[in-house]
Amino acid sequence: MDHRPIGVFDSGLGGLTAVRELASRMPQENIIYFGDTGRVPYGSRGRETITKYARQDVAFLRTFDLKAVVIACGTVSSTALDALRQEQDIPVFGVVEPTAVRAVELTRNNRIGLIATRATISTGAYERVIWANAPRAQIFPAACPLFVPLVENGRTQPGDVVIETVVRDYLSPLKEAGVDVLVLGCTHYPLLREVIANFMGPEVALVDSGAEVAHQVGRWLAEHDQLAPAEQKGASRWYVSDAQADFRELATRFLGRPVTEPVGKVDIEKY
């Protein structure tokens, strides 16, 4: 048993979709969340900058006594996971491996679509894990750079002509390729699940990276006897690097429940 909190971070608010899954699977866990709202998006930046930012994010989280760190960001997971793992003396979980493994489990025709930020797609990280588990899989990747800003601006609902047009533009080649699984390789994308599902059709399974990493963390903690006591009611603490006037409203949508706890502001450049 381990009472220490789990540290979770993302470039912004997308990682809250992973927190939502963690909290629903393990309501007893305390969670410290950092969203680098002052520097989002990471997905259009280069490897060195993303790695530097990720190190700072983890250094801030490590000011708390944590039992694990969850990188709730496809961009950081695909770019800096190995570096962070080498530097940390507690487990560091990324979204790529559990999500890619799940995609392989779900596909029946070995045609897997992958959508993510430009940075994530350029690393080839998802492809490496998919091919290690399914060497004959065909992967159809698409970078979707407009999704993160549209999600952060609330353009997520079916019937919104802007998001529907962008979804059609990005996803048409994947639909034409006949994929039967689509990896949502960025933690912002679960907010677009409905629009994406409507476009791709019911025969295409969508894999949510936040849900998959939450599942992996839960399994690992249980196997290592590091879950918090079941009778405990977990608490969350929120930190951001830029005070967003609409943080609560946006965070509520990502998290699926009202954010009532205080929100701390962090000068992340100090770390």
Q: Which residues bind ligand DGL (CB under 6 A)?
A: 10-12, 14, 40-43, 73-75, 117, 120, 148, 186-188
C-alpha span between 77 and 54 (Å, rounded): 9
Structure tokens at 87: 């530097």
Catalytic residue, from 50, 125, 186, 211: name it: 186
C-alpha span between 153 and 250 (Å, rounded): 9
Question: What is the closest distance, in whole angstroms, from the C-beta atom of residue 204 to ligand DGL in the complex?
Answer: 20
Q: Is 186 a catalytic residue?
A: yes
Beta strands at 181-184 and 31-35: parallel, antiparallel or unpaired? unpaired
For the purposes of burial, counting CB atoms within 10 Å of the CB of 180, is it exposed (0-12), middle (13-18) or buried (19 or more)?
middle
Closer of 5 and 15 to ligand DGL (Cβ): 15
Closer of 163 and 228 to ligand DGL (Cβ): 163
Question: What is the closest distance, in whole angstroms, from the C-beta atom of residue 89 to ligand DGL in the complex?
Answer: 25
C-alpha span between 71 and 62 (Å, rounded): 13
Q: Which residue is nearest to ligand DGL (CB)?
A: 43
> Pick from 117, 115, 94: which is nearest to 43 by CA?
117
Question: What is the closest distance, in whole angstroms, from the C-beta atom of residue 95 to ligand DGL in the complex?
Answer: 7
Question: What is the closest distance, in whole angstroms, from the C-beta atom of residue 14 to ligand DGL in the complex?
Answer: 3
Which amino acid type is present at position 266? V
Closer of 29 and 208 to ligand DGL (Cβ): 208
Q: Give 203-215 as a DSSP string.
A: TSEEEEHHHHHHH
- Give the residues across from 115 on adjacent strands: 142, 184
Closer of 5 and 14 to ligand DGL (Cβ): 14
Catalytic residue, from 8, 71, 73, 200: name it: 73
**Active site amino acids:** 73, 186
